[in-house]
Homo-oligomer: A and B are copies of this chain.
Amino acid sequence: MAVNLTFNEDLLPIAGVRLATLNAGIRYKGRDDLLLLELAEGSSCAAVFTRNAFCAAPVIVSRENLAKAKPRYLLVNAGNANAGTGEQGLAAAKACCMALATAGACAPEQILPFSTGVIGQPLPVEKIVAALPSALASLKEDHWLAAAKAIMTTDTVGKAMSKQIEIGGQQVTMTGIAKGAGMIHPNMATMLSYVAMDAQVEANLLQTILSEVVEETYNCITIDGDTSTNDSLVLAATGRSGVVIDASNRAIFQQAVQDLCMYLAQAIVRDGEGATKFISVSVEGAKDRTEARVVGNTVALSPLVKTAMFASDPNWGRILAAVGRSPIDALDVNAVTLWLGDTLLIEKGQPAPSYREELGQLEMKRDEITVRIHLGRGSASATTWTCDFSYDYVKINAEYRS
């Protein structure tokens, strides 16, 4: 199913991070659906959350708690989003934190809860609470692989990666996991992602790095335009490697974090619900970055473009039509140039004389397709990654609850 994606099982432990997973019976049988991630004392955390106004209860609680204290535990459940659950949902998320604080000997504010799954169902607090003692008892540094599996919902492939870099002669290790599948759109998605590293990064700097990295990675992917109530991405730095990140070594560190996040973000698209193609939409020659993004998103989200991609049909008129309806001011169609892969389709608004249907067909048959659009009105550019729209997207989303 997923496009050129296999479960990367070669994961490195991060000193100062221990994980446990188990089946708490929240929704799924025969697989883990609860993840407990413990951060060593003194770790710093940064996070970004969904911008959906109807954000889930755990998002509200995590955001509040992160502002109050240094997190010690991340508690993640799959199968129930605890969203659209009102006051009761908030109480449920807080009850989980309270129970874990008691069992784990920390303050409730030091717990960040996360949920993913069906919206609008009461969270089975008692099942989660009942699972906490054995979760705490089984925490281990080398449980990253199990963690990547435990947070999956409609994902078909686990998403994980480790990376090591040398900074000042010392090794820094980072490992990240993510889950995605549907409801993926810029500004976060039904997407949970946790990235931990053993470098020491002051919390404000970590948040700045995270915000910049997200702009280049997670906020450049889209599957169906539906943002979720629950999206969360957490960066945790335990400091155990002894390497301190500051202005002198930030660049190399940030690049490594970005590479890791790019892999995870693109992995989410490759495993988009029903995906058979991995599509890059590059918009160049825009007045500014926002404009490039707007056009890229319009093309990437067009159901007509996405179904044509699914059919490997070089129906480039649909790409043109999507560019044309992008909400940007006064687009001059006679400045627009369009390529499919390396094949020129439209040159300054006119059909390219060199174009033949066979060339377009060749590009569309690939499982990785690049659409390149030059707007001819500036020098800004941006790339959006998306996937095609298949029968299986409808099937998965029509049947997800049943």
Identify the A interface with B (CB < 8 A).
Answer: 51-55, 81, 83-88, 118-120, 182-183, 185, 187, 224-229, 301-304, 307-308, 310-311, 313, 315-318, 320-326, 331, 333, 336, 346, 349-351, 389-391, 393-395, 397-402
Contact = CB atoms under 8 A, between A and B. Distances in A.
B325 A226 contact: yes
Contacts of A120: 315-317, 320, 351
A12 to B, nearest CB: 35
A333 B394 contact: no
B398 A321 contact: no
A322 B185 CA distance: 12
Contacts of A325: 51-53, 185, 187, 226-227
Given A85-B351, A325-B53, A402 B226 contact: no
Contacts of A84: 316-317, 320-321, 346, 351
Contact of A229 (B53, B54, B317, B351): B317
B85 A321 contact: no
A13 B228 CA distance: 52
A53 B391 contact: no
A53 B373 CA distance: 15
A87, A346, A398, A402: residue with the most chain B Cβ atoms closer than 10 Å: A398
B225 A302 contact: yes
B313 A402 contact: yes
Given A229-B320, A346-B84, A398 B308 contact: yes
B81 A317 contact: yes
Contact of A391 (B119, B317, B395): B395
A57 to B, nearest CB: 12
A315 to B, nearest CB: 6
A350 B87 contact: yes
A295 to B, nearest CB: 11
B227 A311 contact: no
B53 A333 contact: yes
A111 to B, nearest CB: 24
A308 B394 CA distance: 9
Given A85-B351, A324-B55, A394-B391, A119 B226 contact: no
Interface pairs A-B: 7 shortest CB-CB: A119-B317, A54-B324, A311-B398, A307-B397, A86-B350, A120-B317, A53-B324
Contacts of A307: 393-394, 397-398
A317 B226 CA distance: 12
A303 B54 contact: no
5 contacts: A52-B325, A54-B336, A225-B302, A226-B321, A227-B324
Given A118-B317, A224-B303, A325-B227, A310 B86 contact: no
A231 to B, nearest CB: 11
Nearest to A392: B394
A244 B149 CA distance: 73
A389 B389 CA distance: 11
Nearest to A324: B54
B228 A119 contact: no
Nearest to A355: B120
A321 B52 contact: yes
Nearest to A86: B350
A228 B325 CA distance: 8
